Amino acid sequence: MARRKQSVTIKHVAADAGVSLQTVSRVINKEPNVRPVMRERVQASIEKLGYVPSIAAQRMSGSRSYLIMALNDRERTIADWRKREGTDWVDQMLLGGMLKCAEHGYRLIVELIDTHSDHIERELLGAIAALQPDGVILTPPHSQNQRVIELLRKHQISVARIGSLDGGPGLRFTMDDERAARLASEHLLQLGHRRIGFIAGSPEYELSAWRIDGWRAAMRAAGCADAGLCEESDFSFESGRRAARALLGGRQPTTAIIASNDQTALAVMDVAREMELSIPDDLSLVSFDDTPLVRFGDPALTAIAQPIAEVTAQAVAAIIEDRKTQSELDRTVVVPAGLIPRQSTAPPRNG
């Protein structure tokens, strides 16, 4: 009777090939210090038994865990999930990270930790002890949390930091948010807009300031005033509504708005409907993120498309390479975002 694949373990392979467990592990991990004849014998047993390597077998070599942990903000992530207002940011992170991990025999595990918690060190140490990850991908705001970064450094864990250029070790990834905001602003300026409002993201995120800088630089280069045209948000729908009312309710309302994420962009659309403003006839709108929410709406929104999957894939590849070479990650990588024009932007009515 044929043995079921799920019951085959590394011990069965070792017994069938007549070799030690360590030899099988070295073959599985593609380590060079195995004689060709022994490698062929083990590989033949793997194919014969239908063995599928497990993380436990890969870990037997002792040098790697074959796990990469992505650390996301618990409070914001769970709040979005519960309100069913989440974007596909996490989905794109998983897409890029999981596919790249699979290419190298790794697994990606997502952990949620509240960056504001007094117990963040205890929580992070617990995750490290349980998973023993080869590397950690930090997303905002964890990527700029020096307590987290220093703790990982002390444990000699490779770190890839998304959306932060703050000091400290780790591979720093940006999507060039300053340039992205400048692209969005220049698109609207070229259409003839001169009063372009900007809804900034949470000041807790480094990238929020970068985007303001990009918008402001484009406005000043075009000779346009920017005073009073920037409103802050915390990336939520309600904060987007408050910002939109401020930008559209004055004596000189804006003719265009750039929103720092899709939830605040949708909030602008909501306020515009209440004020009986047509998009794009009365108001042009550009969003960041480019989730399905804005691609399939009416009108479909012009948006900055952030290459989150590509950034995460490159972060995974860098961590794996770092483990092989034992070199400390300490450089900045730019994976630029791009602008996708759609139906929500047009020349101003009286332009």
What pLDDT sits at residue 85?
Answer: 63
Task: Compute, in degrees rounded to 10, the torsion defined by CA atoms 113, 114, 115, 119.
Answer: -90
| Measured distance CA(144)–CA(142) in Å, rounded | 5
Determine the residue type at 40: E
State phi, psi for 9 to the nearest 5 degrees: -120, 175
Which of 105, 114, 113 lies closest to 134 in space, CA to CA? 105
| Measured distance CA(163)–CA(175) in Å, rounded | 7
Residue with more model confidence, 3 or 202:
202
Residue pLDDT, tens place only, 231-277: 999 998 999 999 999 999 988 889 999 999 999 999 999 999 999 99
* Cis, peptide link before residue 341, omega less than 30° from 0: no
What pLDDT sits at residue 8?
Answer: 79
| Measured distance CA(267)–CA(286) in Å, rounded | 12
Whether residue 2 is predicted with pLDDT greater than 60 in this model: the reply is: no
Strands 338-340 and 302-305 come out as antiparallel
Among the ranges given (30-39, 123-132, 198-207, 333-342), the one the predictor scored with the smallest mean pLDDT: 30-39
* Residue 92, H or E segment: helix 89-103
Among the ranges given (20-34, 90-104, 112-126), the one the predictor scored with the smallest mean pLDDT: 20-34
| Measured distance CA(83)–CA(71) in Å, rounded | 21
| Measured distance CA(117)–CA(125) in Å, rounded | 14
- Give the architecture-level CATH label for domain 5-59: Orthogonal Bundle (1.10)
Residue with more model confidence, 214 or 38:
214
Q: Is 272 helix (H, G, I), strand (E, B) or coil?
A: helix
Whether residue 3 is predicted with pLDDT greater than 60 in this model: the reply is: no
Provide the CATH number for the domain formed by 178-306 in this structure: 3.40.50.2300
Residue with more model confidence, 17 or 62:
17
Residue pLDDT, tens place only, 144-179: 888 888 888 888 888 999 988 877 778 899 999 999
Both structure tokens of 50: 């239908």
> Rounded to whole angstroms, what are the CA distances from 152 to 143, 146, 170, 323?
11, 10, 10, 14
Please say whether the beta carbons of 339 and 184 come within 8 A. yes
Both structure tokens of 148: 């987290």
Write out the residue limits of the CATH 1.10.260.40 domain(s) in the chain. 5-59
What letter would DSSP give residue 139?
P
Whether residue 300 is predicted with pLDDT greater than 90 in this model: the reply is: yes
* Residue 59, H or E segment: helix 55-59
Write out the residue limits of the CATH 3.40.50.2300 domain(s) in the chain. 67-175+308-337, 178-306
Whether residue 14 is predicted with pLDDT greater than 90 in this model: the reply is: no
pTM flag (> 0.95): no
- Give the architecture-level CATH label for domain 67-175+308-337: 3-Layer(aba) Sandwich (3.40)
What pLDDT sits at residue 57?
Answer: 53
